[in-house]
Amino acid sequence: MIRAATVDDIAEIRAMIRELAEYERAAEQARATEEQLREALFGEHPAAFALIAEDEETGQALGFALWFPRFSTWTGTRGMHLEDLYVRPHARGGGHGKALLASLAAICHQNGYERFEWWVLAWNEPTIDFYKSLGVELLNEWTVCRLSGEPLVELAAQAPPVLTPVRAL
């Protein structure tokens, strides 16, 4: 069963985020707290949304997908960015990942989102093969850029004064 996450799922979502980070060899980078996730997913202005793959008999969370809307200047429409997709190892191969992706595709279709995009680690061949089996297009001509930590702070310090305050979402 796929369902929208509720505030009661926060601890389980955080646990799965840590499991995913361990799988991706980056456990030390998964620092989000339950309080941060609660605010991001269920606060006054949610930054993201989540779906839960749940065992219908036991109610156990088997996986999750966390996503947020994005905007394309080229199409002039919103799209979806999938931040995390995770299915617990014991539940893999049971169709839960495909069901989560299909549910997200349905959200895109229902809302007129023209693009559904996410990243996958280049070394994660089993997942890449799974995505290819669904007809996913791999955009090898694009490189992900990230600015964080001290370089982000240093660049921010070089910003000119902004005449009109910019509203953060």
DSSP-assigned states of every residue in the chain = -EEE--GGGHHHHHHHHHHHHHHTT-GGG----HHHHHHHHHSSS-S-EEEEEE-TTT--EEEEEEEEEEEETTTTEEEEEEEEEEE-GGGTTSSHHHHHHHHHHHHHHHHT---EEE---TT-HHHHHHHHHTTPPP-TT-------HHHHHHHHTTPPPPSSPPPP-
Show which residues are catalytic: 131
